Structure 1
């Protein structure tokens, strides 16, 4: 026990754990911001619009939730890799290389966690009474104002709960991130990848510490999400 505590103290003082935690938080924040932006847009589209292929689009957007992370990582390599159509275009025209960068980790985490925001947002928008939106339109509010002043405020708890879950999922993303971002200490090595590297190196004490840090961070996020979800359901029962 004393030896393990000494190892934990050394890891904490030397900084690798905090570097990995900081990078994980950075990646998770950016990924969650992207998921929130696109999740609200597509969630509202699927909740309010009727068009051919709507459920197919929903299935395609939800696919990352059930697809193996390594498969997603392969698709991302095909898309943003040096030989991928988007990656090659960015490299040729702007000199941008995404592979083995923290930005690639953001893309991987955003893709994996996106369905959590999408499903929550769609469900939240579907619970909003369309008659309230119609009343706002009758009063002369434009479509954008109706969404920002009526729809989104009534659905925000569900959207935020899904966003917090996406943040927690982004914090723990491993498979797709490893394939497109690699494991470069201080640059692309997130907490989950650092745990893998520690285990592979036989550094069990360091791995235990990193697991504790990751678990505590995700537990806090999940508690916040759970506090939001019951309040939303309770509020809906009084509506």
Structure 2
């Protein structure tokens, strides 16, 4: 294996994980904000749906995403009509799969941070005429910064390790959609254990450093 073949899944995994982590993080902030500013019927059901990717087998999540974004679905057909290419079996599909699987972790972490904020502070802000978005921007987000940082790192690391849903939706095309988890699987399957060890070591090191930074930052606050 040459140098390019070794680093290709590493670079692609980092690109996919960064984008998927950001997507999951932003969507989780919006979802938690909408779920916490006002109670409504069906809230528990919706939150349960949000948590499903955390407990379902990754292959089931991947299959459902394939049904939603496949070339036979209206979403896939509209996308292909405008961009002249399918969603499936692209690195963008890997981003979608990783973001969906990472979303529950980001959601639950951010919700913990948001609900820990003193409700009286928000009530005072409302009494002074602040809108819900202003409260989010100037009160909730700054006070929940520790949870936000943790959520972003968890979303990134979960995206980095996503395998089953990514394999179903994006496939395993070397140089195009092959991420580190799928590359490790193929390396082990072909008995290339030295390369598998190197890739696995990189994943463990990156995840460890990110989680360590989170712990250190939390202890300093």
1:58-85 per-residue CA deviation (whole Å, 9 max, x = no partner) reads 0000100000000011001101111123
User: Which of 158, 161, 180 does residue 147 from structure 2 map onto?
Assistant: 158
| Kept after mapping to 2: 8 A contact 1:116/1:166 | yes
1:91 aligns with 2:80: yes
| Kept after mapping to 2: 8 A contact 1:78/1:85 | no
Q: If the length of structure 1 is used for normalisation, what is the TM-score?
A: 0.87
CA distance in 2, matches of 1:140, 1:48: 15
CA distance in 1, matches of 2:104, 2:209: 21
User: Which of 39, 46, 65 does residue 54 from structure 2 map onto?
Assistant: 65
**Residue 162 of structure 2: SS of its match in structure 1?**
coil
1:158-187 per-residue CA deviation (whole Å, 9 max, x = no partner) reads 122022111101001000101111111111
Which 4+ stretches in 1 moved above 4 angstroms?
Answer: 228-231
User: Which of 176, 187, 204 does residue 198 from structure 1 map onto?
Assistant: 187
**Residue 27 of structure 1: SS of its match in structure 2?**
helix
Q: Residue 88 of structure 1: CA displacement? A: 2.0
CA distance in 1, matches of 2:182, 2:132: 44
- Between structure 1 and structure 2, the one with the greater Rg is 1
Q: If the length of structure 2 is used for normalisation, what is the TM-score?
A: 0.94
CA distance in 2, matches of 1:14, 1:204: 16
- TM-align CA RMSD: 1.7
| Kept after mapping to 2: 8 A contact 1:32/1:163 | yes
Q: Residue 142 of structure 1: CA displacement? A: 3.0
CA distance in 2, matches of 1:141, 1:93: 41
Gaps of 5+ in 2: none
**Residue 106 of structure 1: SS of its match in structure 2?**
helix
1:26 aligns with 2:18: no
1:148 aligns with 2:131: no
CA distance in 2, matches of 1:179, 1:23: 17
- Aligned residues, how many? 221
Equivalence for 1:123:
112
Gaps of 5+ in 1: 1-10
